[in-house]
Structures are given as structure tokens and as C-alpha cells.
Structure 1
Amino acid sequence: MTDDEPLYDVLIPPGVPQKIIFAVTEKFDVKVVERMEKLKFANMEGDERELLAFRGPLETVQKVEKYMIEQLKAFVEEK
């Protein structure tokens, strides 16, 4: 990452196993950051929660998102 390129976030859904988060940070040049997000479901309408996100350049976070989804699917299938 360079200081002058725009950075983007991919939110990490609550419940993602730590081993997947660690694998992403080892495989890709991204940082794990905290972000406040408003929740929009059922009895939590308007609540704000601090969520984790991967932050990096657009092309990288697009790859991260794809990789994370693949890893989550594999994790669920092995259970």
C-alpha cells in the first residue's frame, strides 16, 4: 500500500473464525481496522456496532472479499 492511493474496506461479518482473519492478513496486504456501522435488522434498527474490516486498495479488497467467502464456505462445509 502506498500513502496516496485510495483505500477501501471489506466488512468482516460477525462470527468469522479468527483463523480466516489471520489467513487473510498473511495472504494479502491489508490492515484490520475497526469501523462503526449502523445495524438495520429486526429489533436492532439504528443501533451502531463496532465491526472489523479489512482495509486496502480496491483491487486487493475485491480479492480479499472473494477469498473470505470461499474460506467461509469451506469452513461451513467441513462442519
Structure 2
Amino acid sequence: MLDQEIQKKVQKLPVDRQQQVLEFVEFLESKTATGPRSKRHNIIGLLSDFNTDITEEKINEMRREIWGTFPEASR
């Protein structure tokens, strides 16, 4: 039923719009063909082989250093 409704609406469109619909459908197909997104990994786990000691405080300190003067730099 849905496919017939879509077909009727597309047939009423000018050829250039029909081409756009086709391209959009192909785009949607390509997005679903890639499968589910990969699982995110914990950054600490990714760095575990480097024998680093990254703490939450170190991360917060780096954020303050990097973003601390951000509004001033954009003036």
C-alpha cells in the first residue's frame, strides 16, 4: 500500500524532481547498507597499552588549558 502511494506521488512530479527522489532513495540505501555504528570505546581502555596514568583531574586540567581563553580568542 505504501509503495503504491509513493509511486503515485513520484509519477506526478516533474522529471528533475523524480531524479532527486531517486538520488535520495539511493542515499538512504547507502546509509542502511553500512550497518550499525561501531561501538564506542573508552578512551582510557584505548590508551592502556601506553602505560600512562590519565586521571579525570588531568583531563579537566587540559580542558581548562585549551578552552580557558576561548571566548577571548574569538573577539
Shared fold (TM-score greater than 0.5)?
Answer: no
TM-score, normalising length from structure 2?
Answer: 0.28
Structure number with the higher helix fraction is 2
TM-score, normalising length from structure 1?
Answer: 0.27
Structure number with the bigger relative contact order (C-alpha 8 A, sep ≥ 6) is 1
Structure number with the higher strand fraction is 1
